[in-house]
Amino acid sequence: MANKVKSMWYCSNCGNESPKWIGRCPGCGEWNTMIEERVNVKGSKSATFERDNKAVPLPISQIETRQETRLHMPSEELNRVLGGGLVAGSIVLIGGEPGIGKSTLVLQNILSIRGKRILYVSGEESASQLKMRADRIGRLSDNCYIVCDTSLENILGHIKQVEPELVVVDSIQTIASDVIESSAGSVSQVRECAAQLLRYAKSSGTPVILIGHINKEGSIAGPKVLEHIVDAVLQFEGDRHYMYRILRSIKNRFGSTSELGIYEMVQRGLREVSNPSELLLSQSSDDGELSGMAIGVTLEGVRPFLIEAQALVSTAAYGTPQRSVTGFDSKRMNMLLAVLEKRVGFKLAQKDVFLNIAGGLKVNDPALDLSVICAILSSNVDMAVPRDVCMSGEVGLSGEIRPITRIEQRVLEAEKLGFSTILVPKNNMKGFDTSRLKIKIVEVAKVEEAFRALFA
């Protein structure tokens, strides 16, 4: 008898099924998320690993706690984001823009692991392409097995044959199961394949790394349930036209989501940036200090580093003033310009203002406000901010400098890099012993006080 083919509607947000289209998903409540897919109804079940049916309910007080076994990765930045390494039996999803370096990051890490049998499943690239990338990275390993396949059943067969201690799937959107009629990358395929790999990881204790695509909105492609069932979701961010990449943790069941790793894209792959502040600050010019530059202390997660805000203010040549921003929120810069004009008295309405955050990074920390307005003022009056002075503070609508979080970490980072003076919000240092610090701390309450401290 021929298999019966019918259409089902799946929610792209939660994966909820429906025999017909409905405007609002009954599972998650989202509107217009139902996608039609053709499914092939079969009586057989998909290939899977045996499940343990001997589990019995236990009171939580009787459950034994044990230390999670972690696989230490060669990249310390990756270990930091994972919370200390790859936990045995965990499943990690790494997503990012096309060409950002996801496959390179994973490949150069697994090629440096010694004494572990690793299976790398590629559904996008051929084996020769992966070999060329490994040659470019400069690392070869006999412990890493490469297989190019997109069938879930075949992949599970390869896993049984190789018996790896780590599995990498690149990417989950290219894998398809034979028991589902829809094409690879659909809601049902991604959900089924991820569930089978999760079952394998938990039953065997083998960690699995999934590489995932993102859609045009920037979120992980596929159903939202994909992010729910995995143990950790890592986002690889950055602009392909710049050399810096940020690995950020969105979800982590075995560590903090506040950590992040910074990499630099070079010819031989990704290089770890252990001290990003030294690379994000431009070197002093031999011709003297330049106006329009101010150093701010920002936080990415729990990691402080110093970054340079560059501004250029010039008379509007074509009537309508231009406002151009790179790496900073344009609406927030317009607010800071209004504060400068209304509260401080600088007339910038008829001037072009260009702002750039050095290094190609996108910064959302409000503590960078003070360095942004100081860079704008420095360019406007053509007076340079001293290169050994940095600052950190949020600017309010009335021109006040508001307190910021983790001020101690920011001050210690500035001192470690050799800055002599730091401007901080007034009364933000309460309870912090500054007697042992070599850096001079200047507390300011208003924008005018910061200007006087810099340009007096």
Contacts of 172 (CB under 8 A, 6+ apart): 93, 190, 193, 194, 197, 210, 211, 212, 222, 226
pLDDT at residue 286 in the model: 47
- Sign of the torsion formed by the C-alpha atoms of 88, 89, 95 and 100: positive
pLDDT at residue 45 in the model: 46
Rounded to whole angstroms, the Cα distance separating 132 from 39 reads 39
Helix (H, G, I), strand (E, B) or coil at 447: helix
Per-residue pLDDT of the chain (456 residues; tens, 9 = 90+): 455 567 788 887 777 888 888 888 888 888 888 887 766 555 444 455 555 556 788 898 888 877 788 999 999 999 989 998 999 999 999 999 888 899 999 999 999 998 899 999 999 999 999 999 999 888 788 899 999 999 999 999 999 999 999 999 998 999 999 888 788 888 888 989 999 999 999 999 999 999 999 887 778 887 888 999 999 999 998 766 667 888 989 999 998 887 888 898 888 889 998 777 766 776 554 445 789 999 999 987 778 889 999 999 998 877 788 999 999 999 999 999 999 999 888 888 889 999 999 877 788 899 999 999 999 999 999 999 998 999 999 999 999 999 999 899 899 989 988 899 999 999 898 888 888 889 999 999 999 999 999 987
Q: Which residues are annotated as a binding site for ATP?
A: 96-103
Rounded to whole angstroms, the Cα distance separating 18 from 15 reads 10
Contact 225, 211 (CB under 8 A): no
Rounded to whole angstroms, the Cα distance separating 100 from 132 reads 18
Helix (H, G, I), strand (E, B) or coil at 341: helix
pLDDT at residue 43 in the model: 44
Instruction: Give the global pTM.
Output: 0.74
Residue from 307, 453, 292 nearest 392 by CA: 307
pLDDT at residue 284 in the model: 52
Helix (H, G, I), strand (E, B) or coil at 441: strand
- 320 phi/psi in degrees, rounded to 5: -85, 120
Which two three-digit tokens encode residue 135?
């040659």
- 351 phi/psi in degrees, rounded to 5: -130, 145
Contact 49, 170 (CB under 8 A): no
Question: What are the start-end ranges of the H helices in 125-274?
Answer: 127-137, 152-162, 187-204, 225-229
Residue from 80, 122, 417, 71 nearest 246 by CA: 80
Other Cβ atoms within 10 Å of 181 Cβ, number: 21
Alpha carbon separation from 109 to 73, 131, 411 (Å, rounded): 7, 15, 34
Report the relative pairing of strands 293-300 and 303-315 from DSSP bridges. antiparallel
Q: Which residues are annotated as a binding site?
A: 96-103
